[in-house]
Amino acid sequence: METGHVVRFASQKHPFLLEAMPCLDLDCSCSIISLKFSELVPPVSAPCERLTFTLRVCLRTWWEQDPPPRSLEVETLVHEFLARFPRGRIQELAEEFERTRAVERRIKLLSLSGARDELVTYSSVLDERGGVREGITDWAYFFMFEGREFLVEDHYCANPECDCQLVHLEFWERVHEVYPKRCLRIRQQIMATFTLAGELQEIRFSEDSPSTTEHLLRAWLRRCSSHFQECRRRNEIIRTVGSRSFPASKPQPIVTSDKPSRPGKPAIQKSAPQPVRRNDPCPCGSGLKFKRCCARRTAVVD
C-alpha cells in the first residue's frame, strides 16, 4: 500500500503523494498531524481532475480528528489508509513530529552569540552541534558534478541593520579514499556568493581551477535553481533570529570641539590599520579564518 512518501490504494489506478505537517503551536500538547494526499497523474495521460484530500490524525491513537464532509470515494480511501498504514511508518511520523517541534522550539528561543557581522549557517541555527565543518551533514544540500560528490552548506547575514539579500554557498567535496585505508573525507572546496534570486555575485575562494569552478557553479544554477526559494525562507528565519539577538544599535552623537585645530593638522588622527594574521577572522565577514578565505586566490565569474 505504501512506499516512502507515495501511497497506493486498492481502488485507485494512480498513486498519491503524501505530505505531512505537524501542529507547530509550541504551547499545544497535542500530537495531531495533518496529512495531505495528492493524486499523481502522469502528464501523458488524458486530462482529468486530480483527486486531493486531507485528514488530521492523532499520532498517539491513530484516530482521525474532526473529519469534514466528504464524498463516498474519499471516505473509502481514508478508512483504507487508517486501517492499513504500516505501524512502523506511524512511528516514523511520530519521530518526525518531535524533530520538527524541537526545531521550531529552537528557532523560537535561539539567541546568536557571535558578532552581528558574522555569517551564520542554517545548519547551526537548527542544530546546536553545528554544520558540515563539525561533521553534521543533516541540513546540507547534496550535489553531484562530473562524478564528484558535494555537500553544499548555506550561510546568511544575520545583522538586522544590513539590507543585503545574499546567500553564501560553501561546497564541501566528499572524497572516498583507499590509501592508507578506506575512509570518507570531506574537504572544503569553494565558497561562492549568490543573490537570493539566484545570480552569481562572486567566488570567495576555490581549490579548483577557474574554468572548473565556473562549470560547477553554472551546473548548480541550472539544476538546483529551485533551492533559492528555500534559501529565501531560510534567510527570513535567520533574520528573525538576528533581530532578537542583535538589538538595533543607537546612533552615536557627533561630538564637536570648540578648540580650533592647529593649521596643517587634522582634528582627529587616524590610527594605522593593523595587519591581518593568517589565523585571524577574515575582515570580509565570512566567519572563516583569513587563511581559508580572502588569503586565497579570488576570482569573479561574469
Tens-place pLDDT, residues 134-182: 888 888 999 999 999 999 999 999 998 888 899 999 999 998 887 777 7
C-beta separation of 293 from 191 below 8 A:
yes
Stretch 2-18: mean pLDDT, rounded? 82
Strands across the sheet containing 52-58: 2-3, 6-7, 16-22, 32-39, 52-58
Q: How far is CA 181 from CA 139, 150, 177, 294, in A?
A: 28, 21, 7, 33
C-beta separation of 18 from 36 below 8 A:
yes
In a domain? residue 70: yes
Number of domains into which the chain is organized: 2
C-beta separation of 119 from 193 below 8 A:
no
Q: Are residues 139 and 94 in the same domain?
A: no
| Pairing relationship of beta strands 200-206 and 183-195 according to DSSP bridges | antiparallel
pLDDT at residue number 102: 87
Q: Are residues 83 and 32 in the same domain?
A: yes
The range of the structural domain enclosing residue 30 comes to 2-108
* Cell numbers linked to 118: 558574522
C-beta separation of 120 from 156 below 8 A:
yes
Stretch 230-244: mean pLDDT, rounded? 92
In a domain? residue 266: no
Residue 269: CB atoms within 10 A of its CB come to 6
* Cell numbers linked to 44: 501523458
Q: Which residues contact 142 (CB under 8 A, 6 or more apart)?
A: 149, 150, 151, 152
Type of residue numbered 260: P
Q: What is the pLDDT of residues 240-284, one digit of tens each?
A: 999 988 877 666 566 555 555 444 444 444 444 566 776 777 777
Q: Are residues 138 and 173 in the same domain?
A: yes
In a domain? residue 274: no
Q: Are residues 134 and 236 in the same domain?
A: yes
Q: What is the pLDDT of residues 176-207, one digit of tens each?
A: 887 777 788 889 999 999 999 999 999 988 99
C-beta separation of 166 from 184 below 8 A:
no
Q: Are residues 148 and 241 in the same domain?
A: yes
Q: Computed over its alpha carbons, how large is the radius of gyration of the chain?
A: 26
Instruction: Name the residue among 4, 15, 24, 1 with its Cα closest to residue 89.
Output: 4
Q: What is the DSSP string of 244-283?
A: HHSPPPPPPPPP--SSPPPTTS-SSPPPPPPPPPTTSBPT
Q: Are residues 134 and 212 in the same domain?
A: yes
Q: Are residues 103 and 124 in the same domain?
A: no
Q: Are residues 84 and 124 in the same domain?
A: no
pLDDT above 60 for 299: no
pLDDT at residue number 263: 47
In a domain? residue 36: yes
pLDDT at residue number 255: 59
In a domain? residue 281: no
pLDDT at residue number 170: 95
Q: Which residues pair with residue 56 across a beta bridge? A: 34
pLDDT at residue number 256: 57
In a domain? residue 257: no
**Is pLDDT larger for residue 295 or for residue 42?**
42
Q: Are residues 56 and 165 in the same domain?
A: no
Could you give the CA distance from residue 280 to residue 290 in angstroms, rounded to a whole number? 6
Q: Are residues 136 and 225 in the same domain?
A: yes
Could you give the CA distance from residue 138 to residue 296 in angstroms, rounded to a whole number? 28
Q: What is the pLDDT of residues 118-140, one digit of tens each?
A: 899 999 888 888 889 888 888 89
C-beta separation of 279 from 287 below 8 A:
no
Q: Are residues 207 and 99 in the same domain?
A: no
Helix axes 227-245, 87-109, angle to 10 degrees: 40
Looking at 55, 75, 108, the residue that finishes a domain is: 108
pLDDT at residue number 26: 80
> Among residues of the chain, what percentage have pLDDT more than 90?
44
Looking at 59, 78, 108, the residue that finishes a domain is: 108
Q: Which residues contact 242 (CB under 8 A, 6 or more apart)?
A: 112, 116, 120, 157, 158, 159, 160
Against a cut of 0.75, is the pTM above it? Answer: no
Looking at 80, 108, 136, the residue that finishes a domain is: 108
pLDDT at residue number 99: 85
Average pLDDT across the chain, whole number: 83
> Among residues of the chain, what percentage have pLDDT more than 70?
82
C-beta separation of 292 from 195 below 8 A:
no
Highest mean pLDDT among 95-99, 135-139, 209-213, 258-262: 209-213
In a domain? residue 214: yes
pLDDT at residue number 148: 92
Q: Are residues 102 and 54 in the same domain?
A: yes
pLDDT at residue number 298: 38
In a domain? residue 280: no
* Cell numbers linked to 137: 551533514
Q: Three-class SS of residue 235?
A: helix
